[in-house]
């Protein structure tokens, strides 16, 4: 079986569906419960089976009650319990065939075959009329998609994000930075947009040959810190976690586990970051997003903020 990776979905033997949130999935899949079979559920799959969608807190409460053996910092489903794997790059043809809006968006992005897919509710056949489009693009092809989206917006073929949509995204994420600072950083990322009235994301996932790019696992917590450092490598800054290699006397990497601070800075820029310091072997990493809301934690590009 092809390796299970970030943004795949899995279904267990009871029919519960989980979003894969990790790359280290050899024995137990790191994921978050999203959909549970429920005769009174508000979502219906393509076969007519009804499901209830769970948010983050509800999912942990359900797993704690019904599957406590899966509890960890995420949910850990043993490979032996996996009945089905949903892979975005394998299902994209079927998704586009039943969703003309997705097909039209893909035709404009013009991505290489096999380099992209659709994750989220569309991947599982559990979307509704209000569902966003969560596009996932793999490896270096993601940067081509990013450039293409920028071109489409600047050429007027796809509208730019409205202030109302930026406000909606900001209020959903509730970051530790101001709205103006948030939008200033977001507008140059070219990883989200609006198409035919629907919000969409361009989500990065590593290619199969690069799944071990960052060592997995939690380090030893050493305390909290705020640092300034120069970014030396931002090639995985749109990943999850986002990874920034930095030039700093003590910290070698800054990682963000919240999507808010993915793509937040470019190589060569000076960042200010606040989070939790962890020891990983001989290295010290600064972790941003140690809680769901990332309270008191952030990354900003001082270079961007101070530019004329």
- Between the alpha carbon of residue 39 and those of residues 13, 49, 50, 96, 147, the distances in Å are 17, 8, 6, 28, 44
State residue 156's pLDDT score: 93
Task: Tell me the pTM.
Answer: 0.93
Any idea which residue has 């470019």 for tokens? 266
- d(CA 173, CA 295) in angstroms, rounded, equals 11
State residue 293's pLDDT score: 76
Strand partners, 16: none
- Between the alpha carbon of residue 58 and those of residues 52, 122, 125, the distances in Å are 11, 21, 21
State residue 291's pLDDT score: 79
State residue 275's pLDDT score: 97
Q: How do the pLDDT tens digits run along the chain, 308 residues long?
A: 689 999 999 999 999 999 999 999 989 999 999 999 999 999 999 999 999 999 999 999 999 999 999 999 899 999 999 999 999 999 999 999 999 999 999 999 999 999 999 999 999 999 998 899 999 999 999 999 999 999 999 999 999 998 998 999 999 888 999 999 999 999 999 999 999 989 999 999 999 999 988 877 888 999 999 999 999 999 999 999 999 999 999 999 999 999 999 999 999 999 999 999 999 999 999 999 987 778 899 999 999 999 88
φ/ψ of 288, rounded to 5, equals -110, 135
Comparing CA positions, the residue from 122, 116, 119 lying closest to residue 99 is 122
Parallel/antiparallel/unpaired status of strands 198-205 and 220-236: unpaired
Parallel/antiparallel/unpaired status of strands 17-20 and 116-119: unpaired
- Between the alpha carbon of residue 155 and those of residues 82, 148, 151, 245, the distances in Å are 45, 10, 6, 34
- Between the alpha carbon of residue 38 and those of residues 11, 84, 210, the distances in Å are 15, 19, 38
Comparing CA positions, the residue from 229, 206, 240, 203 lying closest to residue 286 is 229
State residue 218's pLDDT score: 85
φ/ψ of 23, rounded to 5, equals -105, -25
- 8-state DSSP, 268: T
Gap between the terminal Cα atoms of the chain: 52
Q: What structural domains does the chain harbor?
A: 9-86 (no CATH), 109-208 (no CATH), 214-305 (2.40.50)
State residue 87's pLDDT score: 98
Structure tokens at 277: 């310091």
State residue 130's pLDDT score: 87
- d(CA 54, CA 35) in angstroms, rounded, equals 6
Q: Where are the alpha helices (DSSP H) in the chain?
A: 56-66, 88-98, 100-109, 121-124, 141-154, 163-173, 179-186, 302-305
């Amino acid at each position: 079986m092809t390796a299970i990776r970030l943004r795949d979905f899995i279904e267990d033997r009871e029919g519960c569906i989980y979003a894969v949130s990790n790359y280290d999935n050899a024995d137990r899949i790191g994921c978050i419960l999203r959909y549970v079979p429920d005769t009174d559920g508000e979502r219906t799959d393509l076969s007519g089976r009804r499901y209830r969608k769970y948010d983050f807190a509800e999912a942990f409460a359900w797993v704690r009650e019904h599957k406590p053996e899966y509890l960890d910092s995420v949910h850990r489903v043993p490979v032996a319990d996996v009945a089905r794997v949903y892979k975005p790059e394998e299902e994209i043809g079927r998704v586009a065939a039943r969703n003309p809006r997705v097909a039209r968006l893909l035709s404009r992005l013009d991505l290489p075959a096999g380099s992209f897919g659709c994750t989220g509710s569309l991947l599982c056949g559990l979307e509704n009329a209000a569902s966003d489009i969560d596009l996932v693009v793999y490896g270096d092809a993601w940067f081509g998609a990013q450039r293409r989206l920028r071109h489409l917006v600047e050429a007027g073929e796809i509208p730019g994000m409205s202030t109302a949509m930026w406000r909606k995204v900001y209020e959903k994420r509730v970051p530790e930075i101001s709205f103006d600072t948030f939008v200033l950083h977001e507008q140059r990322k070219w990883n989200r947009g609006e198409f035919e009235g629907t919000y969409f994301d361009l989500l990065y996932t590593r290619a199969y040959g690069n799944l071990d790019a960052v060592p997995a696992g939690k380090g030893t917590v050493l305390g909290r810190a705020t640092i300034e450092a120069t970014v030396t490598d931002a090639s995985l800054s749109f990943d999850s976690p986002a990874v920034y290699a930095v030039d700093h006397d003590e910290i070698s990497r800054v990682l963000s586990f919240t999507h808010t601070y993915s793509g937040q800075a470019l190589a060569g820029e000076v960042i200010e970051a606040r989070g939790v310091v962890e020891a990983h072997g001989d290295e010290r990493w600064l972790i941003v997003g140690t809680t769901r809301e990332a309270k008191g934690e952030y990354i900003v590009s001082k270079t961007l903020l101070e530019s004329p």
